[in-house]
A = this chain, B = another copy of it.
């Protein structure tokens, strides 16, 4: 990680300097937030801090209006959008069933081509997903807080219309940030509102779905199945009923892995160092007051 970041700084025309001489601090290790106070105390000339996070909720206690802050906002969207495509295609084309087979299975599967989809959330992941799915000719409804249309979607509606959308679609994709309003958004009633042949995908946070209600819906066939990259609790404990359900595919929070993310955040660092040297506005600024 250190080498990749040093290369990014140098490729942008920057110099890696001792911490008391640097004008900018590239804070690269997402797992090292606890070390930040000791570091910034030594960084007496630093005016700008670049963080590796897309969302800074775990770092917010360190934000300080005396610095300019930037983060990895948006850079991790393409791998997560690719996970959504992987999950949709795996579900529609019955890959989990075939992966578990030890004899020639029955011919099953349906096309994602031309399917009707709903995405909850209109952020960077959704934008990136819309660019990947464009050639599939799908009918895509975005459900978001504000009615502002998302380019590439068939239509954009607000969260108040969610219950009208659920019975219409082949798959519901959760790509939201977790807030008090979105916690438990998909519960027993909303799962019942979905079609029996529809899939639920969650790449947001486990807390968006009421897990016990999902277990019931999957067992009773109220929905076709679920693909979960996030769970509540997470990690999902050994022996949890979801592990035993053939119509539930669990991936271990790999929408974006550190290996996938490193070259992407390095690109952001390269861009921002070049802008910092040229006194241009930086990409991905954090509003310290709003905390994101």
Contact = CB atoms under 8 A, between A and B. Distances in A.
A45 to B, nearest CB: 37
Interface in A107-141: 107-113, 131-132, 134-136
A92 to B, nearest CB: 8
Contacts of A257: 107-109
A82 B93 contact: yes
A259 interface: yes
A204 interface: no
A250 interface: yes
A6 interface: no
A101 interface: yes
Closest A-B pairs by Cβ, 4 of them:
A104-B235, A96-B99, A86-B89, A99-B99
A95 interface: yes
B95 A95 contact: yes
Contact of A136 (B104, B112, B132, B250): B132
Given A82-B113, A112-B82, A95 B105 contact: no
Interface of A: 78-79, 82-83, 85-86, 89-90, 92-96, 98-113, 131-132, 134-136, 235-238, 243-244, 249-254, 257, 259-260
A257 to B, nearest CB: 5
Contacts of A235: 104
9 contacts: A79-B111, A79-B113, A82-B136, A95-B95, A95-B99, A98-B249, A99-B100, A105-B252, A131-B135
Contacts of A251: 93-95, 98
Contacts of A79: 111, 113
Contacts of A93: 82-83, 86, 251, 254
A106 B177 CA distance: 24
A102 B107 CA distance: 25
A135 B134 CA distance: 8
Contacts of A110: 259-260
Given A90-B86, A243-B103, A259-B110, A252 B78 contact: no
Contacts of A134: 135
A254 B103 CA distance: 15
A99 B105 CA distance: 16
Given A136-B132, A250-B98, A82 B104 contact: no
